[in-house]
Structure 1
Amino acid sequence: MKKALYLTVFITSLLILISNASAAQLSYNEISNASKIITDQASKTGQIPSQITVNNKNITLDDYLYAASTTTINLNTNKKTNISTNNYKPPTNPPNNTATGKLTKTTYLQVAQNIKKYMETNGRSPSYATTTIGKISYPSLIYTYAKIINFYNTNGRLPNSVTVKGVKIANVPEPDTSFQLSYNEISLASQTITDHITQNGKIPPQITISNKNVTLDDYLYAAAATAVNLNASKKTNIPINNYKPPMDPLTSTEIGTLTKTEYLQVAENIKKYMETNGRSPSYATTTIGKISYPSLIYTYAKIINFYNTNGRLPNYVTVNKVSIASDPDGSTKVVKVLIYSGYDASTNCVNGIKYCLDAIKLNSVTFTYATSTFINSNILASYDVLVMPGGTSGLSYLRNPNISASAIKSFVSNGGGYLGVCAGAYAAAVAVDGYYTSWGLADVRCKAVYYEGELAVSITSAGENILGLSGTQTISHYNGAAMYATGTVTTLATYADNKTGYKGYIAAVADTYGSGRVILCGPHPELSPRIPEMVVQMIAWLAKVT
């Protein structure tokens, strides 16, 4: 009998452990932050995000709905407690339409109880909720309870009523592959390098493959890693990390032959060095002596080309002396640009910035770019300029836990460049009048503007020098800031018409922050009708290369 009792207790304990292992807890603050993210995006775009990231936790809409409905019930008795979620599934057949109108406090509390009970019983979200105004759809339920929690946090009480609105769920964004090179891209880059040497006797300073600008440092890492992988017949994508050039590269190199065993070991050494130091090695020590940085690049390009021709790695490779093509005085500059691409950034705006950087070429300047859904000191350390594009709102950027304000300020103060477009401008000003205080990277305040469409801006004389434009320009605008100076700034462009209600206010402005430079732009030069040269000239000025 005792054995049976012990077994029952053991099994019960095990089931509790298993149940707890599959559950996750959300704190009240995390639920509040998620609610704010949802309402910010819905009020701006009419869509709720497909997933919310708070404190590095990826919260599904279903776990959020359970947490929000339970929190609403708890707030009715002023309880702010952690909520255990259980990886709830999406609804099976959500309707496309929703009832809209007002729910009383009594009704929305009862609906919250119904949602909570349904999800605990069925392990998934309801497709809709039946209420006094009709059937409320799944997305609108999520938005409704997000608004209720926001109201409580602002007013210290639950609202007497809540308005239900129709919203949709935003499409799931494409995965960010900007930090990867495919095997085919690495192969094409290898062929480009060897072809360029055959024709010109030098390595090109940069390779463009599939509209990606690949630096020699990122190529060297990818090529070394690929050589190692090919020894196991693996053709995989290689994550890269915007590696920097070597500190003090050799001007000469040893030449000779490396065996397969040795060039694979050297590849391992290169890979490890770059992962540790964030830059290319100045040389590699081998049995034939020190091999220079350019010769390493050429050597691994030849190895990959051999594999693609013969279906195997070569038994040995000959190291040749080569140099990198550049201006005679070494004036070619590489500007590394990071574009924020998180859930609250507009995909069209991100792609527009990329298009401009690809479309415009400046003498003696090469632009490379990557995107990131996180902004922190470690990521920013590899770049010259940060672009915060148009998005949900400036407030969303300020409240986004994946964006470190202190890291951005430190980056710019230490000499980095910051380009803020639309939401990125609102976030970096001193404040938005009547709404919120911003990061304060530029001495301007913003007027919130509600106008979407094309409008005219007048380029100032200072703008002519920095932007390379003059006169009046037609530009795209989506509720971007109208700014006015609170300190000494450089006005680049002003609103030339009154479509925003702020004719004569600043449309684009330049300023300094510590040792760095800042440009804030209310309109969208990266969107149709594009002004790509404006985008590129702004980034070049921020990087101090013009």
Structure 2
Amino acid sequence: MDFGGGKINRKSIAIVLMLTVAIMLCISSAAAATTTNNTVRNATAYQAAGSTTTTTATTVTVTISQLDKSSESVKKFIETNKRLPNYVTISGKQISTAQFLTLLSYGVINLNSGKTTSITLKKSINAPPSPTQTAKSGTITKANYVKYAGNLKTFIEKNGRIPNFLATTSGNMRYESLVYMYSKIIVFYGDNKRLPNTVSVTPWTVKSTSEGSTTTDLSQYLKSTTDAPSSNTTIKNLAASITKGKTTTYAKAQAIFNWVRDNLTYSFYYNTIKGALGALSSRSANCCDTTHLLVALTRAAGIAARYQHGECQFSSGWFGHVWAQVYVDGKWYNADAIGDSNTFGTIKNWNTNTVKLKGTYATLPF
């Protein structure tokens, strides 16, 4: 047989073919291994980017007694700290407040029907992406809060998350107010073995400290912390320099946001490593440390700021992400300084409509 200008016998051809197949198999295996390793690395990166110090259970079964006990703890926590807890411990497991609200709604529905059997939740529930409210102080009747629990249950089972608000006779109630209201209802049941005829409600920014007294508290979002040391001289001096000549809170907050966005470059790594001072010194940081600097400078200027953590859909895919919210004139403004296209109050580098909110913090826990 003539092959490439020379003669090769059948045995030689067979050997060549066998070697060729072997080489192709090796290349194929190596490519598959590379693909697998890349997939593992990407999955690990995604999990780490979205990780926190708290792991919540996906499946949990609780008794009414356990729900009552946890409701009492959550109610006291809210009244003491003026915020939701980062997680709720129930039936020996840690669950998110979104999962807890789901259990509360199931509990109210069951108790209204005379059922006192255990309740099982078999999936994780996402927090609302953009909670809002128009609710005013007032009371809600038993018939209505039971109906709202049903509406809540229907929405959660369809969408896998808590709604941004729930329409009530007192106005649109946001997530946090719903947790507080339904916790009070379950606590009442635990004490009286019946559901209350009515339940009092207040807007979330005004939270009861005791019966008959209220307070508005942003102090937790103004405190100096290890990673956002707003009382540090360097931070205070820089904040004063950035806001010099600005006469309104909005103008000051906007100036600080613009400075952080324009003076730091993005650097990829997981969780907090540098803190605000390290980010300022290196002028390069990930989303956590960039947000630490933004929060520190904002608080140093006397403006409340907090952290948001969620899974966000960027053009390149889904990633765990951290950004700030700044409180100006009664409103929380989004402030994500890692995107050059972002402005104060407006996020353009990821889809705010699909965000899976994981937590809101005065101090970032990771």
TM-score interval, smaller chain: 0.3 to 0.5
Higher relative CO (Cα under 8 Å, sequence separation at least 6) belongs to 2
Q: Which has the higher helix share?
A: 2
TM-score (norm 2): 0.40
